[in-house]
């Protein structure tokens, strides 16, 4: 997902405190910033929320790529609003992470020096306008699948950020699907672009849910803490079941020859993505990893004088106000 392969941290706290903490979570209570929490819970959440926040921010880049080249003024306004929302999502999440005792600058630095990651999906290029359709439809669609249950997560600030995000997210998916509808009803070349976008984004979208449950070693603790609500495979299946009929509606072909409806299970059977590609991308070797991090580094460096000037200006105003009193 936006947070993939979050390693849950070991905890060495007092067993009685741990049991009381688990009882609160089991009773559906929310954990708030000033409440006692196990060190492992705190650290795992910083990593998870931080990775989620970074994904929202880095996720602006592949779509920002097309804002100036949107085919109509209306599409441009739609995309701009969508990308601006993603900036907001990043900010809500950074604030949630900060309540756990990490600073915004530390989070940024950890992204830039590679200690923290962002979702693998944003390391793929957006080559044509149809990719704006595919990203909204599939990538935001997959994100929604994961974010809706996270509204019930045990950590209060994270759950509240998720509620805000989910409210805004469905517009993202719908504007993407809307672009796809226009493409498939257009010229043959436009239909081919739509199909090509689906071909390129299908498996990377499936990878967003993280490795298969059998290879996903960190889930048990996170699920007990209710910071992970469903297993990777559960969500992936749900995504396939919802998306395949939408692709059919568009008249597009999901690039998977093993895809078929399974009467017995009531779900689609489908091929797993190439996990070696996933591990490659997440460890830094995807097509756009370097570009994405360079863009973030440049924004951080180029913004330094603005951050400093704002502080200097605020200090000057404060001094003047004091002098006038």
Partner 1 sequence: MSTSKEWPLWEVFIRGQHGMSHRHVGSLHAADAEHAIRNARDVYTRRNEGVSIWVVEAAQITASSPSEKGPLYEPARDKVYRHPTFYDIPEEVGKM
- Pick left, alpha or beta for residue 36 (phi over 0 → left; psi -120 to 50 → alpha; otherwise beta): beta
Rule CB under 5 A: choose which of 117, 172, 200, 296 binds Fe ion.
172
Residue 164 engages partner 1 in binding (rule: CB under 8 A): yes
Segment interacting with partner 1, rule: CB under 8 A, options 53-61, 103-111, 212-220, 284-292: 103-111
Residue 317 engages partner 1 in binding (rule: CB under 8 A): yes
Phi, psi for 249 (deg, rounded to 5): -60, -40
Per the listing, tokens 């954990």 go with: 31
Rule CB under 8 A: choose which of 170, 310, 319, 320 binds partner 1.
310
Residue 295 engages partner 1 in binding (rule: CB under 8 A): no
Task: Provide, rounded to whole angstroms, the least separation between the CB of residue 35 and partner 1.
Answer: 5
Residues 104-143 binding partner 1 (CB under 8 A) are 104-105, 109
Residue 52 engages Fe ion in binding (rule: CB under 5 A): no
Q: What tokens were used for 160? A: 């509240």
Rule CB under 8 A: choose which of 2, 41, 92, 209 binds partner 1.
92
Residue 140 engages Fe ion in binding (rule: CB under 5 A): yes
Count of C-beta atoms within a 10 Å radius of residue 253: 14
Q: What whole-number distance in Å separates Cα of residue 64 and Cα of residue 72? A: 15
Residue 54 engages Fe ion in binding (rule: CB under 5 A): no
Per the listing, tokens 């360079």 go with: 294
Q: Which does 89 bind (CB under 5 to 8 A by kind): partner 1, Fe ion, none?
A: Fe ion
Residue 318 engages partner 1 in binding (rule: CB under 8 A): yes
Of residues 169 and 256, the one with the C-beta less far from Fe ion: 169
Under a CB-based contact definition with an 8 Å cutoff, are residues 184 and 191 in contact?
A: yes
Rule CB under 8 A: choose which of 260, 298, 307, 320 binds partner 1.
307
Q: What whole-number distance in Å separates Cα of residue 234 and Cα of residue 255? A: 21
Residues 31-90 binding partner 1 (CB under 8 A) are 32, 34-36, 81, 84-85, 88
Under a CB-based contact definition with an 8 Å cutoff, are residues 271 and 247 in contact?
A: no
Q: Which does 311 bind (CB under 5 to 8 A by kind): Fe ion, partner 1, none?
A: partner 1
Which has the closest alpha carbon to 2: 71, 45, 60, 48? 48
Residue 29 engages partner 1 in binding (rule: CB under 8 A): no
Under a CB-based contact definition with an 8 Å cutoff, are residues 119 and 210 in contact?
A: no
Of residues 157 and 273, the one with the C-beta less far from partner 1: 157
Of residues 160 and 238, the one with the C-beta less far from partner 1: 160
For the chain, the maximum distance between any two Cα atoms, rounded to a whole number of angstroms, is: 79
Of residues 171 and 279, the one with the C-beta less far from partner 1: 171
Which has the closest alpha carbon to 227: 57, 21, 41, 54? 41
Runs of H (alpha helix) within the chain: 15-26, 39-58, 60-67, 73-98, 104-112, 130-134, 141-150, 156-184, 188-207, 219-224, 232-250, 275-280, 289-302, 304-324
Residue 168 engages partner 1 in binding (rule: CB under 8 A): yes
Of residues 92 and 124, the one with the C-beta less far from partner 1: 92
Rule CB under 8 A: choose which of 29, 71, 301, 320 binds partner 1.
301
Residues 6+ apart with CB under 8 A from 276: none
List contacts with partner 1 (CB under 8 A). 32, 34-36, 81, 84-85, 88, 91-92, 95, 98, 103-105, 109, 160-161, 164, 168, 300-301, 304, 307-308, 310-311, 313-314, 317-318
List contacts with Fe ion (CB under 5 A). 56, 86, 89, 140, 169, 172
């Amino acid at each position: 997902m936006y947070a993939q392969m979050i390693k849950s941290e070991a905890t060495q706290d007092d067993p009685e405190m741990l049991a009381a903490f688990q009882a609160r979570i089991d009773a559906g209570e929310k954990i708030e910033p000033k409440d006692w929490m196990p060190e492992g819970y705190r650290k795992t959440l910083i990593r998870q929320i931080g990775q989620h926040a970074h994904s929202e921010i880095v996720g602006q880049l592949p779509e920002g790529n097309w804002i100036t080249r949107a085919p109509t003024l209306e599409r441009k306004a739609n995309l701009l609003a969508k990308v601006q929302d993603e900036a907001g999502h990043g900010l809500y999440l950074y604030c949630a992470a900060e309540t756990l005792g990490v600073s915004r600058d530390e989070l940024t630095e950890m992204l830039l020096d590679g200690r923290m990651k962002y979702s693998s999906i944003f390391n793929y290029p957006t080559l044509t306008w149809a990719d704006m359709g595919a990203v909204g439809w599939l990538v935001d669609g997959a994100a929604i699948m994961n974010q809706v249950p996270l509204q019930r997560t045990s950590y209060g600030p994270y759950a509240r950020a998720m509620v805000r995000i989910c409210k805004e997210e469905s517009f993202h998916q719908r504007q993407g699907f809307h672009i796809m509808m226009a493409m498939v009803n257009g010229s043959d070349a436009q239909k081919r672009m739509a199909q090509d976008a689906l071909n390129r984004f299908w498996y990377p979208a499936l990878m967003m849910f993280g490795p298969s449950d059998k290879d996903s070693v960190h889930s048990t603790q996170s699920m007990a803490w209710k910071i992970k609500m469903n297993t990777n495979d559960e969500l992936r299946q749900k995504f396939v079941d919802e998306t395949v009929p939408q692709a059919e509606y568009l008249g597009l072909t999901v690039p998977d020859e093993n895809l078929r409806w399974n009467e017995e299970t009531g779900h689609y059977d489908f091929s797993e993505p190439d996990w070696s590609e996933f591990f490659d991308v997440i460890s830094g070797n995807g097509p756009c990893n370097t570009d994405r991090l360079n863009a973030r580094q440049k924004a951080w460096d180029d913004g330094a004088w603005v951050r400093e000037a704002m502080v200097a200006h605020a200090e000057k105003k404060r001094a003047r106000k004091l002098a006038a009193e």
